[in-house]
């Protein structure tokens, strides 16, 4: 679940309307520009052992999930992030049967993975209360995927899981926060090395790596580790409206260099065979997402 490096901490006005609390709040990711939510309604506030959860309702983006004061996803545009995080590696692989998802407590990633016929999913989420919150309040993201019999849910530390498990996976998807707090360990060389050990032949590791225009160090460090550990380490991109600052990067690592660039016809057949339904992702987008602007090429 992609996390902004900012706190939604500036509350500028507060008033009552139709018996609901309305707020104005501004992001503080950048000192001189950003975006804001105006006149939103607080739907749920909950504190867990790990995180403070807040669900608000906004006019432009619908429901918005915030953890520890940080925006995670919105009802209106989360499909872009989740489709690109999941369908790109799964279609690139072409025959994945066993997928590991680390993080992603909102359930959006497992929802899109489970769209693929015949795939079994192991999910490792550190905070059980996040998944319980998501089951109750984020059905618009997970579509009851937590009850799917092809899902095996483990509550625990993802880094510890990949270090200790004897299982092998075709694809590992790291749906993490940015490298601060609990998510920091999921951006280390040691963690990526443990992930590689858990991958089967032609296995693919995919990670969320923020917005390169504003967070270049995050992508640069991850891909440098990928290149040490794998034969191929790069990224692909997508535009998610609420992740301001330009296109978002997804790290991509594999020992099969042929999986990065595939003919559109082959991708199209794999999409049909997978049986997925998407609003953003298609074979053209798949190919184009690996075409990087020069400034991102310099980063990776």
Q: Which residues are CB-contacts of 263 (< 8 A; sequence separation ≥ 6)? A: none
Closest CA to 244 of 10, 21, 26, 12: 26
Question: Is 175 a catalytic site residue?
Answer: yes
Question: Which residue is catalytic, options 170, 175, 178, 194?
Answer: 175
Q: Which residues are catalytic?
A: 175
């Amino acid at each position: 679940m992609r996390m902004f490096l900012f706190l939604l901490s500036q509350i500028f006005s507060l008033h009552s309307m139709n018996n609901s609390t309305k707020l104005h709040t501004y992001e503080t990711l950048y000192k001189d520009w950003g975006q804001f939510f105006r006149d939103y309604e607080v739907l749920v506030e909950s504190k867990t052992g790990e995180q403070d959860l807040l669900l608000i309702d906004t006019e432009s983006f619908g429901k918005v999930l915030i953890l520890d004061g940080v925006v995670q996803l919105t009802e209106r545009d989360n499909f872009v992030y989740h489709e690109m995080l999941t369908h790109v590696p799964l279609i690139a692989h072409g025959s994945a049967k066993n997928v590991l998802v680390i993080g992603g407590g909102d359930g959006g990633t497992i929802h899109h993975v489970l769209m693929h016929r015949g795939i079994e999913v192991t999910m490792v989420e550190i905070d059980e209360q996040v998944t319980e919150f998501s089951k109750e309040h984020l059905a618009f993201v997970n579509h009851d995927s937590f009850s799917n019999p092809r899902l095996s849910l483990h509550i625990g530390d993802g880094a510890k899981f990949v270090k200790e498990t004897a299982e092998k996976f075709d694809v590992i998807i790291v749906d993490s926060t940015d490298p601060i707090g609990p998510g920091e360990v999921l951006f280390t060389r040691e963690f990526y090395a443990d992930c590689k050990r858990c991958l089967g032949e032609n296995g693919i590791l995919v990670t969320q790596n923020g917005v390169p225009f504003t967070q270049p160090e995050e992508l640069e460090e991850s891909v440098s580790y990928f290149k040490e550990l794998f034969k191929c380490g790069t990224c692909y991109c997508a535009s998610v409206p609420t992740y301001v600052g330009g296109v978002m990067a997804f790290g991509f690592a594999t020992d099969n260099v042929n999986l990065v660039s595939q003919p559109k016809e082959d991708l199209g057949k794999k999409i049909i065979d997978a049986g997925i339904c998407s609003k953003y992702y298609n074979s053209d987008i798949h190919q184009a997402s690996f075409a990087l602007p020069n400034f991102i090429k310099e980063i990776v």
